[in-house]
Amino acid sequence: MDALSEKTLPAPLGDLTARLARRLAALRAEAGLTLDQLAERSGISRAALSRFEKGETSPTAEVLGKLCLAYALSMSRLMAMVEEGFTAHVPPAEQPEWSDEATGFTRRVISPAATGLAAEMLRCGLQPGAEIAYDAAPVPGLEHHLHMLSGKLRVEVEGVAHDLVAGDTLRYRLEGPTRFTALSKKKPAQYVLVLVTP
């Protein structure tokens, strides 16, 4: 079925943890990995991986980043796999949002990844003083276009820091580690991120 075909709407967001759990278990099975092998590859404990796959708990943004790295997927691609369907028109009510209470990070998929499309678009927010870091690119050469909407954000790409304010755009191909830090004391950093799969 092509990307423009009408499909059923995604299940309620309350089901997201269960769908993510099923997808993580399926990815591990498809890769032919044991829990121990995935733990070694991802740096996440075997016990935590088991809890994620059973839907007993939901991984943080940083842990999802490690899993995506282990499977060579962008986080948005993984989340698109979890969604059950989409239409060509994506109104706000159908844009899945995910938040990580531990880091104060939120991401709304405003244009989901889809078969036949190279790009996806996210609206992200990071609470004042919050920081998230990723050890490596989930997909080597993944193209990023980050446009600041409000607040202040420091983005470190492979050790080079870029301080961004509303209206700034940062473009890069990711090969190594990144770190995002919200620099504002009272206002969250809000930005749009376009990811283009190489």
Residue type, 82: V
Residue type, 144: H
- The count of other CB atoms within 10 Å of the CB of residue 71 is 20
DSSP 20: H
Distance between CA atoms of residues 78 and 24, nearest Å: 9
CA distances from 146 to 140, 166, 167 (A): 17, 11, 10
Q: Tell me which of 3.30.360.10, 2.60.120.10, 2.40.160.40, 2.30.30.30 is the CATH number of domain 92-196.
A: 2.60.120.10
Least confident of 29-38, 77-86, 98-107: 77-86
For residues 51 and 17, the answer to whether their CB atoms sit within 8 Å is no
- The order of strands in the sheet holding 178-182 is 131-134, 178-182, 152-157, 160-165
The CA dihedral of 61, 62, 67, 68, to the nearest 10 degrees, is 70
pLDDT (average), residues 41-46: 94
- pTM (2 d.p.): 0.62
The CATH architecture of the domain made up of 13-82 is Orthogonal Bundle (1.10)
Residue 83's pLDDT is: 65
Residue 182 burial by Cβ neighbours in a 10 Å radius (0-12, 13-18, 19+): buried
Residue 137's pLDDT is: 82
Going from N- to C-terminal start, the domains of the chain cover 13-82, 92-196
Asked if residue 128 has pLDDT above 90, the reply is yes
